[in-house]
Amino acid sequence: MCFFVLKRDVKALDGMITGSDEEAALVKAVRVAFPNSRQLYCVLHCQDNVRDYMTKTGIPQKVREEIIRMLFGTNSLALSPD
């Protein structure tokens, strides 16, 4: 994500909504630059991040699939209304 804005436009952007895969440095930078902005997370990217992390840490595939199902499948945490 890259912004080219004039100084007068920064105030207007402060209430914006941004989206990401929850990459920590990007989220922190947006919060610092635009403290009144809101952050949305892409469920597909979050799912990929969880899967990659579990693979790298050696969690067996059957366990990974069950965790992904509980987090992102039908009736999952990701789809919970609260």
pLDDT in tens, the chain (82 residues): 555 554 555 555 667 787 777 778 888 888 888 888 888 778 888 899 899 999 999 999 999 999 999 998 888 888 777 7
Domain of residue 53, residue span: 43-76
Residues 72 and 53 in one domain: yes
Q: Is residue 36, in this structure, part of any structural domain at all?
A: yes
Contacts of 70 (CB under 8 A, 6+ apart): 76, 77
Residues 49 and 72 in one domain: yes
Residues 50 and 72 in one domain: yes
Residues 47 and 30 in one domain: no
Q: Please report the pLDDT score of residue 70 as a whole number.
A: 92
Instruction: Report the C-alpha gap between 6 and 47 in whole angstroms.
Output: 36
Q: Is residue 8, in this structure, part of any structural domain at all?
A: no
Q: Is residue 47, in this structure, part of any structural domain at all?
A: yes
Please give the tally of structural domains in the chain. Answer: 2
Q: Is residue 56, in this structure, part of any structural domain at all?
A: yes
3-state secondary structure of 41: strand
Q: Is residue 61, in this structure, part of any structural domain at all?
A: yes
Q: Please report the pLDDT score of residue 11 as a whole number.
A: 58
The alpha helices in the chain, defined as continuous H runs, are 7-13, 24-33, 43-56, 61-72
